[in-house]
Amino acid sequence: MSSPASFGVNGRYLTQPVTGVQRYAMNVIAAMNEALADTAEQAPIIAPVSARDPGLRAMPLITAGPLNGHLWEQLVLPARWPGRLLNLCNTAPAIKADQVVCIHDTNVFAAPESYGTAFRTTYRLLQPLLARRAARITTVSADSARQIARHLPIRAADIVVLPDGHEHALAWDPALARAAPSIVSEAGRRFVFALGSRARHKNLQLVLDIAPELAAMGLDVIVAGGGAGIYAAEKLSAAPSVKMLGYVTDHDIAYLMDHALCLLFPSWTEGFGLPIVEAMARGCPVVSSDRASMAEVCGDATLLAAPDDPANWVRQVRRLATSAELRNDLAGRGRERVQMFSWNKTAAGYLDLMRAPRTYRPPQAAEDRPLPSIAVVIATRGRGEIVTATLAHLLKTQTLKPAAVIVSCVVPEDAGTAADLPGVTVVLGAPGLPTQRNTGLAALDSSVDLVAFFDDDFVADAGWLEAAARAFRDEPDVAGFTGHVVADGILGPGLSFEDALEILATEKHPVSPSRIEPFSPYGCNMAFRRSAIAGLRFDERLVLYGWQEDRDFGGSVAKRGGRLIKCSSARGVHMGVKGGRVAGDRLGYSQIVNPIYLLRKGTMTGAQVARHIFGNVAKNLMRAPKPEPFIDRRGRLRGNLRGFADVLRGHIEPERAAAIMPVVREKRTSARTALSPSEGRGDGVS
């Protein structure tokens, strides 16, 4: 005689179309049924009256009505089952506390444009309540746990990771395929296979965009998968060599995986990425996105490419098309890798968890993905002692060591003794901040994932590079990152190196790092994803100060669709080194002409331009009678007037600032006027 288990299961998934989330529930419950049958226990599935009966011996179906959907889940389910409850499909009754809820991802926060308004609104209201109230939250990957912790009120360490499995894909029978054999036969050529819904974050348009190049290699593209109603409509344009199948059976998927050159999986973000595991289980090589959970799932068993780098996807497919040895190697690696992902292991984990959800501790920590590699580029001129000090501190203290450090100079003396520091490369080129940063970019190895740009007088806290790398790793659509400047000497007489160290030592780290988005990058400390800036360079027309080159560069990145964020978890002090008063005629000219130039480029808005020009001119006017000893307000005001005159004449040319000679030529003890991206930029105006 069977004895009751200590929990019931939310069976709403039995009324829903089968996507990855429902497949997870079906396979976990099937494996759990076998385990419970062995111990003569039962755990009922409570579902709406319209639910299909899965016919599980140890998990009998109990139907309860009326209603369906969210209303049934919120009102009928908790009344019918007051005991402990297991919910495997992202949602659960909000009023219950004694329950476990599997949240597969928080893409409604991370990729809201992929979902319809009703779905997005419901999940954004419900998931925070569940995170606060449920006895335990589970998810399907370590990456998803980190994503959930960013958007919901729960720590990643308190989330239990119980991943998808692979065994179901081995049960598919290609001999029972209906649509796939005729499609493959009609093509008569080798093909690559892509599987996924039409949600925008699935990024299927990339596959269609590279289809002409694949066709030139003799490869067709077959795409399967429907568009579930929860997703926002996505219009996909296809090439002649592309066949869009829509929904197909699992047996058809097996046939396509067994015959494809490879599976292409270019998604921007996934909680897990089940098709990757299904393909590997069947010996189909995979080219996968390197973002979110995908690299965690893939390990070394697939080829990876950035979802915003079509050329690399073509290269990876070409490698497979021309090497049978590589295909066989990946097939073998894939079959070995999927042994890590088992429905039986996950079901056993849930059974242990349901016995004591609040005190349960997993047997071992979830696998953590490695951080992307990050290089540092510093442009400097005439301040060898300063750049040597800040670089030595950076190399000594960073918890994540940079993959490369490039110091971009005009003459070797600009770098001081920084060239003697380990891992530092000095490159020489033409002067000017944008030009020197471009020289540094050109010197980077192609294998570097991220690049950070620091001013030579920026003192980074020990965790700056690691915080930036984690943000880029965990948020696949972040293209640009700026840290928090704890103190900025550019707004005053400047700070010494010792001042900066003392400030960093005494300033407490924030318990909960703040986030500002979108945020125009601040050039003294900013980082970018290499794939997001492919082909972009700093505008070398922004001469001398390079003033606004950071905003212009970030605006160009944002126009490509990348997110720009500022996060207080990466901290530092901008010394704002200066010596004596700096003649301001050229800077004042740039304060007028540069923003208008960027408006014409489309990297600043009209409102931003108005704020910058008005703010700077107003400050220059108000403070010109009694200027600060470290700012040439009168020179800036002269430059403002000259800039307005040129704009009225139609001369919107930033490089004209280089020809302006200051009315009073003063001693220049620093080269900041030639290099600074932030003179007058600390708070947008100065």
- Between 213 and 230, whose confidence is greater? 213
pLDDT at 230 over 70: no
Share of the chain above pLDDT 90, in %: 73
pLDDT at 296 > cutoff 80: yes
Is 303 in contact with 330 (CB distance < 8 Å)? yes
Q: Would 3-165 and 374-574 be classified into the same CATH topology?
A: no
Locate 336 and state its tokens: 């070995």
- 590-614 pLDDT, tens digit each: 999 999 999 999 999 999 999 999 9
Please tell us whether the domain made up of 3-165 is placed in CATH 3.30.420.40: no
Per residue in 443-475, pLDDT (tens digit) is 999 999 999 999 999 999 999 999 999 999 877
Is residue 426 pLDDT above 80, yes or no? Answer: yes
The model's confidence at residue 670, banded by pLDDT at 50, 70 and 90, is very low
Q: Residue 227: which pLDDT band, with cuts at 50, 70 and 90?
A: low
* pLDDT of amino acid 512: 57
Q: 6-15, 244-253, 259-268, 670-679: which has the minimum mean pLDDT?
A: 670-679
CA distance 108 to 115: 7
Q: Which CATH class is domain 168-340?
A: alpha beta
Give the three-state DSSP class for 324.
helix
In the predicted model, is pLDDT for residue 314 greater than 60?
yes
Q: Spelled out in words, what is the top-level CATH class assigned to the domain 374-574?
A: alpha beta
Residues 6+ apart with CB under 8 A from 145: 139, 156, 159, 161, 366
Query: Would you state the pLDDT for residue 665?
Result: 47
Q: What average pLDDT does range 350-366 have in this prediction? A: 84
Share of the chain above pLDDT 70, in %: 91
Return the pLDDT at 286. 98
Indicate if the pLDDT at residue 146 is higher than 70. Answer: yes
Compute the half-sphere exposure of residue 244: CA atoms within 13 Å on the CB side of its CA.
Answer: 17
Q: What is the pLDDT of residue 236?
A: 56
| C-alpha span between 72 and 70 (Å, rounded) | 5
Contact 673, 586 (CB under 8 A): yes
pLDDT digits (tens, 9 = 90+) for 522-561: 999 999 999 999 899 999 999 876 678 999 999 999 988 8
CA distance 370 to 409: 32
Reported as a pLDDT band with limits 50, 70 and 90, residue 510 is low
Structure confidence by residue, pLDDT tens digits, 175-193:
999 999 999 988 789 999 9
Whether 495 shows a pLDDT value over 70: the answer reads yes
Confidence category of residue 348, pLDDT binned at 50, 70, 90:
very high
- Give the per-residue pLDDT at 238: 66
> Which pLDDT band holds residue 376 (cuts at 50, 70, 90)?
very high
Q: Residue 63 above 80 pLDDT?
A: yes
**Phi, psi (rounded to 5 degrees) for 420:** -85, -10
Q: What is the pLDDT of residue 264?
A: 98
- Looking at residue 272, its pLDDT comes to 95
Query: Residue 686 — pLDDT band, cuts 50, 70, 90?
Result: very low
Q: Where are the domains of the chain?
A: 3-165, 168-340, 374-574, 585-669
Average confidence score pLDDT of the chain: 89
Per-residue pLDDT, 187: 74
State the average pLDDT over residues 646-660. Answer: 92
Q: What percent helix, strand, coil does the chain show, rounded to 5?
A: 45, 15, 40
Question: 3-state SS string over 283-322?
Answer: CCCEEEECCCCHHHHHCCCCEEECCCCHHHHHHHHHHHHC
